[in-house]
Amino acid sequence: MSLVNLTTSALAISAVCATAAMARDQVQVAGSSTVLPYASIVAEAFGENFDFPTPVVESGGSSAGLKRFCEGVGENTVDIANSSRAIKSSEVEVCAANGVTDIIEVRIGYDGIVFASDINGSSFAFTPEDWYKALSEQVVVDGALVANPYKTWNEVNANFPDQPIQAYIPGTKHGTREVFEEKVILAGCENTGDIEAYAAANGGDMKAAEKACISLRTDGTSVDIDGDYTETLARIESNKDGLGVFGLAFYENNTDKLQVATMGGVEPTVASISSGDYPVSRPLFFYVKKAHIGVIPGLKEFAEFFVADEIAGPSGPLAEYGLVSDPELEAVQQTVADEAVMGGGS
């Protein structure tokens, strides 16, 4: 008898569900784990100050978020994708193929990428050249390209301590990795002039030379971390010789365990990043589906609230957490207000 009861109640529950599945009343956000803390701070404040429910923010990486964003238009797709890099033209094409045509690009500010070691370890003053020489698969020694021979930091730069090279860098699914490759490794490759040697080896093809620059050594000195910064921190705690790549906000929450290295002689702070003195920073974005505005309640309000002065401004909670606020915030606010889509379309 109880069996029959249970079956009936199961059927009743699924019937209730079917009716409830019709409408979604909260904004859904997915994407970059770097943007996640900022988005969750905004979502929380949004839920408190508006009559809309608190938006749902999932993480999983910029690429994963944009992939879900481009799956199509409709209530079971996400409304906003967070990204720690600009959307690629290939992704825009995938979006368009799935009917996601009008995308609003919103830049929320800048984020610094810092290099840090254990608090009790040796301190470093890096230049991009040092990182290039330490991690690139091949380097130029005595005018010839050879497999990277360096084992310790003092071989890379005589000013550094005699400490084995061990770097924990973000894995390839992270947007941070691209910035690291472009602004550190590639910059170092160009500054040392080694790019000429790569170009010569590739028959003068600069594109191939750049690609060769950023291919990193695979002998265990450089470890890809596919998880979050907490994993990088755990690696450094267990290996005091390790150096890790972090976001500025993460470092600022863990100053008791990490010491930050300077890059090109500049210490990473909100001030030095916003002035552009600290070289390794990148813009953070979120992308809004225009087709969902007016369908999902609170979507436009949330986007506007995200870039409002009191949130994303220099004295707002995002800046307090570590975001470098956008000097052109007003233009961004205008973009959101006008619902101006990418590519200048309607």
Partner 1 sequence: MTDMSKTTAPRNSLLKQDARTVKRNRAEKRFKAYGIAAISAGMLMLMILLSTIIGRGTGAFQQTFLTLDVQLLEAKLDKNGNRDLEEIKKVSTFGYAPLMAAAMEEKVAQTGIVTDLEPKELGDILSKQAAAQLRDFVLENTDLIGTSVEFRFLTNSRVDGYVKGRVTRESIANDKNINVAQLDLVDALRADGALEKRFNLAFITGSDASDARPEAAGMGVSMIGSLFMMLVVLALALPIGVAASIYLEEFAPKNWITDIIEVNISNLAAVPSIVFGILGLAVFINYMHLPNSAPLVGGLVLTLMTLPTIIISTRASLKSVPPSIRDAALGVGASKMQSVFHHVLPLAAPGILTGTIIGLAQALGETAPLLLIGMVGFIASNPPDGIASGLMDPNSAMPAQIYEWAKRADPAFYERAWGGIIILLVFLVTMNAIAVMLRRRFERRW
CB 288 within 8 A of CB 303: yes
Q: Residue 278 contacts by C-beta under 8 Å, 6 or more apart in sequence?
A: 112, 263, 264, 266, 267, 268, 269, 272
Please state whether beta strands 324-325 and 103-118 pair in parallel, antiparallel, or not at all (unpaired): antiparallel
Closest by Cα among 297, 333, 135 to 222: 135
Torsion angle, alpha carbons of 57, 63, 66, 70, to 10: -140
CB nearer partner 1, residue 205 or residue 320: 320
Rule CB under 8 A: is residue 114 a binding residue for partner 1? no
| Shortest CB 40 distance to partner 1, Å | 4
Only segment of 16-24, 121-129, 140-148, 201-209 that touches partner 1 (CB under 8 A): 16-24
Q: Give the x-and-dash track for 304-343 against partner 1 (CB under 8 A).
A: ------x------x--xx----------------------
CB nearer partner 1, residue 75 or residue 196: 75
> For residue 195, how far is the Cα from the chain centroid?
27
Rule CB under 8 A: is residue 40 a binding residue for partner 1? yes
Only segment of 49-57, 90-98, 103-111, 195-203 that touches partner 1 (CB under 8 A): 49-57
Rule CB under 8 A: is residue 154 a binding residue for partner 1? no
Count, residues near partner 1 per rule CB under 8 A = 54
Cα atoms found within 13 Å of the Cα of residue 108, Cβ hemisphere only: 34
Rule CB under 8 A: is residue 39 a binding residue for partner 1? yes
Q: Which of 66, 67, 73, 78 binds partner 1 (CB under 8 A)?
A: 78
| Shortest CB 120 distance to partner 1, Å | 12
Calculate Rg over the CA atoms of the chain: 23
CB nearer partner 1, residue 18 or residue 158: 18
Residues in 222-261 at the binding interface with partner 1, rule: CB under 8 A: 227-231, 249-250, 252-256, 259
Longest CA–CA span in the chain (Å) reads: 86
Only segment of 20-28, 122-130, 199-207, 281-289 that touches partner 1 (CB under 8 A): 20-28
Rule CB under 8 A: is residue 49 a binding residue for partner 1? yes
Rule CB under 8 A: is residue 295 a binding residue for partner 1? no
Residues in 272-291 at the binding interface with partner 1, rule: CB under 8 A: none
| Shortest CB 3 distance to partner 1, Å | 6
- Residue-wise DSSP of 190-257: HHHTHHHHHHHHTTT-HHHHHHHHTPBP-SSSEEEE-S-HHHHHHHHHH-TT-EEEEEHHHHHH-TTT
**Six-digit token string for 264:** 């090109």
Q: Can you state the angle between helices 299-306 and 36-49, rounded to 10 degrees?
A: 120
Rule CB under 8 A: is residue 299 a binding residue for partner 1? no
Q: Residue 163 contacts by C-beta under 8 Å, 6 or more apart in sequence?
A: 121, 122, 152, 153, 154, 241
Q: Which residues bind partner 1 (CB under 8 A)?
A: 3, 6-7, 9-10, 13, 16-17, 19-21, 24, 26, 28, 30, 36-37, 39-41, 43-45, 47-49, 51, 53-54, 56-59, 74-76, 78, 227-231, 249-250, 252-256, 259, 310, 317, 320-321
